[in-house]
Amino acid sequence: MGKVIAVTNQKGGVGKTTTSVNLAAALAVAEQKVLVVDIDPQGNATMGLGYDKKVQETTVYQVLTGEVSPASATLGPIDEAKNGPDLIPSNSNLSGAEIELVDQENRDRRLRRALVEAQESYDYILIDCPPSLNLLTVNALVAAHSALIPIQCEYYALEGLSQLMEVIQRIRRKANPELRVEGLLLTMYDSRNNLANQVSEEVRSHFGRKVYETTIPRNVRLGEAPSFGMPVIYYDALCRGSASYLDLAQELMGCGVPA
């Protein structure tokens, strides 16, 4: 049975998509079978894995409405030679889903129900959430075993975090008692920046061992890779961004942090 992880933070631009795409690819390098579920209407994870979001007719939208099974919405790695992650894509069609789902029964359990079957085929399923605490994010958290929360090492980094923790607790009480916090991930870290160091210390002193030892550095290659439609390890395997996501994969799998 695969582990379902929602990569979530209602703030935009904190590194959710970068983490979903690159952690998925790093787990695949470690010979794990991985599925990325793009549940953001912006479709950035879809593009980041090399697919043109505009031409996708079958997306996570039809999976949520129950029109298609997850398996029939799943795309294989675009470069078949590389044993990369599979993808359930998304695009702007999904922005209507919230409104459509609102009146429907079990509207917050649609993704959970759909992913039960998919869990048998994967070791990890990473859900790339939108930058909002909307019904799509709730679907992801109800479907997930855990939440992985990227935190950008910038001013206001902690803003909104207590609200996110409250939502996680509420979902745990009402719909998904197993939901836990997988870990907090410091992203876009620049050790030369005093503020980044302060934020990092503050997050670590507040959340202790819930914070991954692995920190994702600010790295130009990580920012460039999506425009080539590939995870950073295919683009520049030796850059610091690649190394950091490979470390994170090891830490997540419980192998400790490589020295």
Query: Which parts of this chain interact with Mg ion (CB under 5 A)?
Result: 16-17, 44
| Per CB under 6 A, 258 contacts ligand ADP | no
Q: Coil, helix or strand for 140?
A: helix
In this complex, which beta carbon is closest to ligand ADP, that of residue 111 or of residue 188?
Answer: 188
| Residue 130 tokens, joined | 């939108």
C-beta of 60: minimal distance to ligand ADP in Å? 16
The full DSSP string for 141-165 is HHH-SEEEEEEESSTTTTTTHHHHH
| Per CB under 6 A, 114 contacts ligand ADP | no
Look at the block and give the residue holding tokens 């599979």: 86
C-beta of 197: minimal distance to ligand ADP in Å? 16
Binding to ligand ADP, residues 118-157 (CB under 6 A): 131
| Per CB under 6 A, 229 contacts ligand ADP | no
SS3 content of the chain, % helix, strand, coil (to 5): 45, 15, 40
| Per CB under 6 A, 14 contacts ligand ADP | yes
Helix (H) or strand (E) holding 5: strand 3-7
In this complex, which beta carbon is closest to ligand ADP, that of residue 52 or of residue 228?
Answer: 228
* Contact range with ligand ADP by CB under 6 A, out of 8-16, 51-59, 83-91, 156-164: 8-16
CB 69 within 8 Å of CB 114:
yes
Which residue among 27, 226, 242, 252 contacts ligand ADP (CB under 6 A)?
226
Q: Name, in order, each residue with C-beta under 8 angstroms of 78's C-beta and a sequence gap of 6 or more.
A: 49, 50, 51, 84, 229
Applying CB under 6 A, the residues found at the interface with ligand ADP are 12-18, 44, 131, 187-188, 216, 218-219, 222-223, 226
